[in-house]
Amino acid sequence: MNNIIRLKNLNENNIDIYQLEGFEAKTVDSHYLHSLQVKVIPSSQTLWDLTKGSILFKERLKSRSVIPKPELIMSETSLKSELEIHNYTGACPALTYEINPVTGCNVGCLYCLVTDGVHENRLHAYSNYHLLVRRVLEENYLEPHYYYFSPKTEAFQEPTLQTGIAHNILREFIAHFEKYPESKARIFIASKAGTQQLSYKHKGESILDLFCKLKDKMQFNTSVSMMPPELRSVIEPYAATIEDRLNAVLLCQEKGILSNSALVQPIIAPYLTDEIMHEFFSKLKKANIINYKPEFLTVCMENLAMLGQISGYFDKSMEKKLYEYYIAPENAGHRKQRGRTAPSRELSKKSIRRLMEVSSKYGLSISICYWVRQQLYISEEEIPLVNENGFQCLGYQTRLFEK
């Protein structure tokens, strides 16, 4: 039987989409693109997708279903089911199981890789998910492998914290390593969590307390974006601020928890100026980050119609560039999983080289996934498979298996 829980949002510092004074959704069609002086001419299919996305965006604004509603359905999952294996490209470096205890995500990012920024469905969590993790841990622990918590939702959000689901999952790993000290299971956590999330207690223990018991078996990678702060506030409605996420990193480091690599996603390409890059990487340096994995915004065209208009609310020139970077017919094949389009290959490769040039001044190494390497023809000489700091692909720390 399903239970419905009303959630209390931990981060309410942002201005959500409904609070943008004077904002009105338009139809992104050929006339609209012409009014912005967009120089590229998209295909008829791309134009149709942009128009369709505009219509959907208008409907969701009207029904106030653009961002998640703070309600959670609780149920149980089958303990006979399998954890999904994380291998979008077919070339991931190690066996990696996904931990996804929630369908949907309360953070509500409007560029979400999983939902294409659609948050109409009610959040759904599994109260017994930790028991499924326990079973899989028992079945496979002698060979080196990761558990990725969590690629399809935020690991430490209101649904997992206020129900104790996140705490219970971590407790399963603690119990596993106590029972099997020789286990080669390792935990890879990618999260937008801030200090509030890491300090959240269940049965007297905080997430950080539980991290401390796993410190040589896990890594915590913060996820931070490169975009204008005012835009981030709207399109990451219930996320911790960048400053608070980096403070969470410092909290982990003080406790001896491996937390010196970052996912930098999404990167809004029109925002990449030398000044912004230097400012950004100096912040990572102060948080003792030594490695990062960059990922440019990838979108379906329906999603781009929404994100373009929101960025245009703050900066019309940025909106114009966004369309130009994505909608050209010759860029139609530059696609990631689920058909999401990346910015032009030429721009992407040029930007990665510039990111490397600037970040190296702050002592940061870079790791990239196989898909980016393949799409942009980046050689192992340019970016090693495993870099000098021991990071590979998404930012997996390969030296964890030596412990």
Q: Would you list the DSSP string of 103-149?
A: ES-TT--TT-TTTTT---SPEEEETTHHHHHHHHHHH--SS-EEEEE
Structure tokens at 184: 């080669």
Positive or negative torsion for Cα 374, 379, 385, 387: negative
Q: What is the pLDDT of residue 370?
A: 85
Q: What is the pLDDT of residue 87?
A: 75
The CATH number given to 66-297+343-402 is 3.20.20
Strands laid side by side in the 102-103 sheet: 3-6, 71-75, 123-126, 102-103
88: exposed, middle or buried (Cβ count in 10 Å: 0-12, 13-18, 19+): middle
- What 3-state DSSP class applies to 207? helix
Q: What is the pLDDT of residue 63?
A: 95
Rounded CA separation 202/209 (Å): 11
Domain edges within the chain: 66-297+343-402
Q: How many residues does the chain have?
A: 403
pLDDT per residue as tens, the chain (403 positions): 468 889 988 887 667 899 999 999 999 999 999 999 999 999 999 999 999 999 999 999 999 999 999 999 999 999 999 999 887 666 666 789 999 999 999 999 999 989 999 999 999 999 999 999 999 999 989 889 999 999 999 999 999 999 999 999 999 999 999 999 999 999 999 999 999 999 999 999 999 999 999 989 999 999 999 999 999 999 999 999 999 999 999 999 999 999 999 999 999 999 999 999 999 999 999 999 999 999 999 999 999 999 999 999 999 999 999 999 999 999 988 887 677 899 999 999 999 999 999 999 999 999 998 888 888 899 999 999 889 999 998 899 988 888 6
Q: What is the pLDDT of residue 222?
A: 98
- What 3-state DSSP class applies to 251? helix
- What 3-state DSSP class applies to 375? helix
Between CA 88 and CA 96, with CA 90 as vertex, the angle to 5 degrees is 70
Phi, psi of 189 (to 5 degrees): -110, 125
The amino acid present at 272, given as its one-letter code, is: L
Q: What is the pLDDT of residue 2?
A: 63
The CA–CA distances, whole Å, from 264 to 114, 118, 277 equal: 17, 22, 12
The amino acid present at 192, given as its one-letter code, is: K
Q: What is the pLDDT of residue 3?
A: 85
Q: What is the pLDDT of residue 13?
A: 66
Tell how strand 365-366 and strand 291-296 pair up. parallel
The amino acid present at 1, given as its one-letter code, is: M
* Whether 86 contacts 188, CB under 8 Å: no
Those residues with Cβ within 8 angstroms of residue 353's Cβ, 6 or more apart along the chain or in another chain = none
Give the pTM. 0.94
- If one counts every other C-beta atom within 10 angstroms of the C-beta of residue 39, the result is 10
Beta bridge partners of residue 335, listed in sequence order: 341
- What 3-state DSSP class applies to 35? helix
Q: What is the pLDDT of residue 88?
A: 65
